Amino acid sequence: MDFGPFLLLASLEGLVMAAVLALTAVGLSLVFGVMRVVNVAHGEFFMLGAISAWFVVDLVPGPAALGFAAALIISPLLVGAIAAIADMTILKRLHYEPEATIVATIGLLYIFQQLALTFYGADARPVEAPFSLRIQFPWFGYSGYKLAVIAASVVVLVGVWAFLTKTRAGLVMRATQLDRETAQAFGINVDRVFAGVFALGAALAATAAVLVVPIQQAHYLMGGDPLLLSFIVVIIGGLGSLRGTVVAALLIGLSDGIISVFFSPTLAKIIATLLVAMVLVFRPQGLFGRRPA
Amino acid sequence: MMLTVSRLSAGYGQVQVLREVNLTVAPGEVLCLMGRNGAGKSTALKGIMGLVRATGGEISLNGVRIDTLPAYKVPGLGIGYVPQGRRLFSELTVAENLQIGLAVRGHDADRLEHVLALFPRLRDRMGQTSGSLSGGEQQMLAIGRALCVEPAVLLLDEPTEGLQPSMIALIQETVLKLRATGVATVVVEQRVDAALAISNRITFLVNGRSADTVATRDMSPVDPLFARYVGI
């Protein structure tokens, strides 16, 4: 294959990764932005999304698309509910203190992993794609499902943006992010907002996982990579900046896809990590973050 | 509504700031809190709002205790709060800041119109982020946001701090208008002339305790109480 088509193929792979990464990382960024909680268990919400999708698809009879559509609705709701319960029973009791919540979410990470190992098992299991379509380019054929993943991620991200900027609940979240004490002085139940944001962040990770599980496989240890890459993306984009998170996801996803195809996946990870180190040294607030006052 | 604070104690963690603060303010009355820095004036207002948890004493509104309520329920009772330094949601627009206030008791277009009639300049700035407003406009918005709650009790923490004279006059005029409509107001004020111009009574705080409460009609700007309690 010539260089041009090869680059196009690599870019498409990168875009798929960027789309999934953007969804996952926006959830992490939202949680940090509003709650100031570094959620180390975020990758496990991704894993729970994938595993619950496998269960739902397995349980729903009929065509694969029906089970997948059910998973796309049920898994984010289920994982969001688990996250809201974790928030109300654990993080709230720790008064959302940064150090304590890091330790608590590390604990959650292991609890979720071991529960998945116990009830799902150690095997990686595939989930059938809802449709099988091959898009034929002049130089190569490409998975129609992967292109649908990109489109679905864009739709969800636009939905999140519209929710945050056009709805009253989004306004309340943004006000809480800016000044939680003043928010309370205007009748905002900050505990409820935090539970909602934690649930939304987890549901976004779960949505990303449901979309990706026909490409990867559901496994109880699959949360590690999305967590690491989400942190990389969120640090580069600027903690709490949703716009920065999306741009950084695009940057990391595309570079990972292209470098992995032309060189090696290991080199792609090395470059991403190097990029984080450079951002931390030269622009610690990230590309789109603001310096603390 | 009558706001009564009896023997209120409160603080931050282990640090006790208020030790038995007493004050009352009736409808159509302005009570000014004065004292030196660190006397507990701002903490007293935060204590009334529930933002600083009371460790002793009682706060009641028309005889009903409110200090046991979570902070987010206090504004819904009709208590508006203008914090020190305005504390606007700086990245939200003027309209969004006002919406946050309006949402406390259900959106009401008339209430918004009332606020915009008091501060017409805000009408031209509705789409602008509040962080980009001038100091005076920010204070108008902070007061406007609190008035969107349709408060029966209004708490103002140093509303004239850092403002130019014309803006101070506007804020004072607004407080007097609200007083005439029956709003009970507690205002923290450092400036003697402003305190005498707008308030009916002054309660002096000393080291977190309420000392004297004096009617302003009996006071002059050179009253020895100001030198004793405020150091002016």
- pLDDT (tens digit per residue) in A260-284: 888 888 898 888 889 889 998 998 8
Interchain contact, A186 vs B70, CB within 8 Å = no
For A243, residues 6+ apart whose C-beta sits below 8 A from its C-beta are: A237, A288
Looking at the domain assignment, is residue A247 inside a domain?
A: yes
Do the Cβ atoms of B72 and A172 come within 8 Å?
Answer: no
Is A222 contained in some domain? yes
Using the predicted structure, report yes or no on whether residue A288 has a pLDDT greater than 90.
Answer: no
Q: Provide the pLDDT for residue A291.
A: 67
pLDDT at residue A1 is higher than 80: no
Distance CA A9, CA A135 (A): 12
In percent, the amount of chain A with pLDDT more than 70 equals: 99
Cα–Cα separations (whole angstroms), residue B137 to A244, B94, B143, B191: 31, 10, 10, 20
Work out how many domains chain A is built from and give that number. 1
Taking the C-alpha atoms of residue A43 and residue A24, their distance in angstroms, rounded to an integer, is 8
Q: Which residue of B has its CA nearest to A181?
A: B51
Pick B89's closest partner by Cβ from A178, A184, A187.
A178
Contacts of A189 in chain B (CB under 8 A): 70, 72
What residues of chain B score a pLDDT lower than 50? none
The answer to whether the CB atoms of A182 and B87 lie below 8 A apart is yes
What pLDDT is recorded for position B178? 95
* Res A241: pLDDT: 85
| CATH number for A11 | 1.10.3470
Q: Residue B34's pLDDT is what?
A: 95
Higher-pLDDT residue of A73, B163:
A73
Is A102 domain-assigned? yes
Residue A293 has pLDDT above 60, yes or no: no
How far CA A93 is from CA of A42, A185, B145, in Å, comes to 19, 21, 31
Q: How confident is the model at residue A292 (pLDDT cuts 50, 70, 90)?
A: low
Cα B62 from chain centre: 18
Is position A291 within any domain? no
Among B75, B90, B91, select the one facing A186 at the smallest CB separation: B75
Give the pLDDT of residue B129.
96
In this model, does residue A53 exceed pLDDT 60?
A: yes
Beta strands in chain A (DSSP E): 134-136, 141-143
In terms of residue numbers, what domain contains A213? 3-282
Instruction: Tell me, yes or no, whether A293 lies in a domain.
Output: no
Residue A292 lies in a domain: no
Asked, for residue A52, whether it belongs to a domain, the answer is yes
User: B4: which strand partners?
Assistant: B24, B60
Domain-located, residue A115: yes
Note the helical H segments in A87-123.
Answer: 98-119
